[in-house]
Each structure stands twice: as C-alpha cells, then as structure tokens.
Amino acid sequence: MFIKYLMMGLMFLAVSTGSALASSEEKEDAPPTVEYYDLMPVTVPVMTDKGVVQQVSVSVSLECAAGKRDKVAAYKPKLMDAYLRELYGALGGGHAMIRGNVVDIEAVKSRLSDVTTRVVGPDMVNDVLLQSVHQYKTTR
C-alpha cells in the first residue's frame, strides 16, 4: 500500500515538474517587454562656501519599452549634460542632501526622472534606475 502511494506521488511530481519546465521554456521564448540602457557614471563636485567638500558619482540605467532602447540612446549626449546640470545644482544647493552631507537617493531619482522625461519625452523611458551612488569626501 505504501509503495502504491509512493509511486503515485512520484508520478505526480514528474508530471508537475514536466509542465513547470514546459511553461518556463515558453516564457524564455517570449520576446522581452523591456530593455535597459546603461549610461556612464555622472560625477559632480559638491561645493559649499568652504569649496569642494565631496564628490558624488551616480550610475544610471534607463528602463525602456522593448524596441525603444536605440531611440533613447540617441539622446545620450543631451541626457548626460542635463544630468550633470541637475545634479550639480541639486547637490551643491543642498536640495538633494539629507542633513547637509548625505545624498537623498529618492530626491536624486525623482529629479533625474523629471529630467529624463523633459529630454527624451514621455512614454520613452519607463523608469530611471540608480545602479550606484558613491560619495567621496575630499580631504584638505
């Protein structure tokens, strides 16, 4: 009796595993719905009345709908310039800083999302992803 239930369980497991594999293979064959465009890191100085107090480097990846990656890539020079300007103003003015010396990640992401929409237009980029944010305190 035990062997009968064991065999039934093994057969069920084999069938369910086979159907799971088949469905995962079907998903792999489906074309991707999004593509990512990675930009070079943007590094800006953070300046106060004491001069340059730190450097901030931000790596950005743009999530695009499938087929729009090349169109977004054409905007790279404009995006990089707009990101530099926005980060320089936001970090230097303290608008994207917490307690004056720590980068506010949510503020940076929000600002870069707004800039991206202004530069490439709506419906081109689904999301702006911050891959890394590094702060380097300058020594004097």
| pLDDT averages per 10-residue partition of the chain, 140 residues | 48 51 60 91 87 91 94 96 93 78 91 96 93 85
What's the confidence (pLDDT) of residue 81? 96
The alpha carbon torsion through 20, 67, 115, 122 (nearest 10 deg) reads: -100
Predicted TM-score (pTM) of the model is 0.74
Q: What is the rounded distance in angstroms from the CA atom of residue 62 to the CA atom of residue 124?
A: 10
pLDDT score recorded for residue 68: 93
Q: What is the pLDDT of residue 4?
A: 46
CATH topology of domain 34-137: Tetrahydropterin Synthase; Chain A (3.30.479)
Unique residue bearing structure tokens 């064959």 = 29
Question: What per-residue confidence (pLDDT) applies to 26?
Answer: 55
pLDDT value at position 2?
Answer: 46
Alpha-carbon gap, residue 131 to 112, rounded angstroms: 13
Residue 6: predicted pLDDT: 42
User: Hey, where are the domains in the chain?
Assistant: 1-30, 34-137
Tokens matching residue 42: 């943007």
